[in-house]
Amino acid sequence: MMVPHLQRNKVLLLFILFSAALPSITSAYANNNNNNEAKPKPLMRAWMCSGKTQRDMVDKLAQAGIVKSAINKEALLRVDRKNYVLQTQQGDSAHQDSPLPIGYGQTISAPHMHAQVLEDLLPPLLAASKDAPDKLLKILDVGCGSGYLTAVFGRMVESKENRRKSTPLNEGKVFGIDVVPELVHMSKTNVMKEDGDLLDSGTVEFMLRDGWKGYPENAPFNAIHVGAAAATFPKQLMMQLAPG
């Protein structure tokens, strides 16, 4: 899932993403009007949003205030995490709010981390759609791993006629890249399980590339997600971002 030389940064990445999720962590308690006997609701926060199904997991992420946008919630509901974990993890662990190994020394991030990424990237995508309503959005997912987040991005910008709910996001294209050939193959295989229409329509494309060099042939991108911590500032990737 990560590009070369980044294994030592795994702890740093998890810390950064966990820190980003902290503002969204809240405790919820019921106010029974003037009744002094308030009944506490179940405490929901990052790392505690595990579910038995995709919907159960996503609903808990929403209850915790990590998933805020209806656009992101719908996209997450459309892509089942169980299709993007290893065969041995496709039971209850598939929807645990924790990272899971996907082989080759890499992991699929915890669901609350992916949810935070979606919330962070949605505003610039909405702004780009408003500024140029007829222009395709382009998203680059560096370190696509097992293909899960790439597929979720794909659901966000898929053809409007295929969306279950109308959204203000333009249609677009998502490029998932990874330096590990086996992970690129895994991503394609996983997407074909239940999200194959994203590949058939050209909404999502996977390819073998050096993540730090990006994909200049298709730049500029409205959003670039990097699933790894960088030892130095990724200037080449920054130069491939669209203005705004």
The residues annotated with a catalytic role in the active site are 109
Half-sphere exposure of 135 (CA within 13 A, CB side): 15
Element (H, E) at 47: none
Token code pair at residue 40: 């506490």
Q: Rounded distance, CA 213 to CA 235, Å?
A: 9
User: What is the identity of the amino acid at 162?
Assistant: N
Dihedral sign from CA coordinates of 24, 241, 244, 12: positive
What φ, ψ does residue 233 adopt, rounded to 5°?
A: -65, 125
Q: Rounded distance, CA 122 to CA 126, Å?
A: 6
C-alpha closest to that of 170 among 225, 119, 128, 121: 128
